[in-house]
Amino acid sequence: MSSFAITRWWLIRHAPVENPAGVIYGATDLKAVFHNRPALEFLAATLPRNPVYITSTLSRSIDTLNQVQDLHGSKQSGEDTARAVDNPIQVPELAEQNFGDWEGLRWADIRADQARQFWDDYANAIPPNGESFNQLAERAVQAFTGFNQDYAGRDIVAVLHGGTIRAILANVLGLKPSAALSFDISPLGLTRIDYLDAPENPGWRIGGVNLQLCQD
């Protein structure tokens, strides 16, 4: 039996953010809050040993990984612990969608006709001085594809954003980016995908989308 590389991705959406005013944020660097320790412990217990770590350049992504790494490392010992807390690769192309001039505003602050046009064609609509979801998908998928090639056969833990993870799912499933907007990607939800580099039929396997700790 011939062997082939399997690249295992562990995609995690960052923890919830502190946003009492309910403003629009994508590129805005809002801080994450870490009240859900059981969910963090679930992720720490689930993650593999010695992965490649990836985040965006936004603090909610980086800080969430730090929280998970601290718990993940505490469950290991010796050399494994040291390797478990390697510094992540910070990738600006994997950041959330930039809503441009709408960043920091509430939806109620946006002109009704502009908001309606945006939601009528969310994947293509571009906020003033921002980017569309399709543009996010283009930059994110290009970066994702590069890492999938560069770290073939490795475990890759990537703490990212809802929009970024949806864009990646659309790509691996061969969907239009707009179709991925139907995926529910919750804070601290885990999405598992594997790339099987089989010589005759390479392709993707979906292990689960938005996996979370179930609490009664």
For every residue of 98-146, DSSP letters joined together read P-GGGTT--GGGS-HHHHHHHHHTTTT---TTS--HHHHHHHHHHHHHH
Closest CA to 189 of 157, 169, 211: 211
- pLDDT band of 74, cuts 50, 70, 90: low
Least confident among 48-62, 63-77, 152-166, 190-204: 63-77
Determine the average pLDDT of the residues in 28-48: 96
- pLDDT band of 2, cuts 50, 70, 90: low
Q: Residue 65 domain-assigned? A: yes
Helix (H) or strand (E) holding 64: helix 59-74
Tally of structural domains, the chain: 1
Per the structure, the complete domain to which residue 205 belongs is given by 6-211
Does residue 137 surpass a pLDDT of 60?
yes
DSSP-assigned beta bridge partners for residue 205? 194
- pLDDT-above-70 percentage for the chain: 91
**In contact, 68 and 159? CB cutoff 8 Å:** yes
Does residue 28 surpass a pLDDT of 80?
yes
Q: For 78-122, how does the pLDDT look when each residue is reduced to its tens digit (9 = 90+)?
A: 444 444 456 899 999 999 999 999 999 999 999 999 999 999 999
Q: How far apart are CA 63 and CA 216, in angstroms?
A: 27
Q: Within a 13 Å sphere around the CA of 73, how many CA atoms are in the beta-carbon half?
A: 15
Tokens matching residue 134: 């399709």
Tell me what pLDDT residue 213 has. Answer: 79
Q: Residue 82 domain-assigned? A: yes
Q: How far apart are CA 167 and CA 138, in angstroms?
A: 8
Q: Residue 183 domain-assigned? A: yes
Does residue 128 surpass a pLDDT of 60?
yes
Determine the average pLDDT of the residues in 131-150: 98
User: Residues 6 or more apart from 106 whose CB is under 8 A from it?
Assistant: 21, 22, 23, 24
DSSP-assigned beta bridge partners for residue 29? none
Query: What value does the mean pLDDT of the chain take?
Result: 92
Tell me what pLDDT residue 109 has. Answer: 96
Sheet of 155-160: strand order equals: 89-90, 52-55, 155-160, 6-13, 190-196, 203-211
Q: Residue 1 domain-assigned? A: no
- pLDDT band of 208, cuts 50, 70, 90: very high
**Count of H-run helices and E-run strands, the chain:** 6, 6
CATH no. for residue 157?
3.40.50.1240
Q: What is the pTM of this model?
A: 0.92
Q: Residue 50 domain-assigned? A: yes
Instruction: Say how many residues make up the chain.
Output: 216
Q: With the CA atoms of 57, 66, 29 and 24 taken in that order, what torsion angle do they form, in degrees rounded to the nearest 10?
A: 110
Which residue is it, tokens 């290991």? 76
Closest CA to 96 of 50, 143, 49, 28: 28
Determine the average pLDDT of the residues in 124-145: 98
Q: Residue 216 domain-assigned? A: no
Strands 89-90 and 52-55, bridge-based pairing: parallel
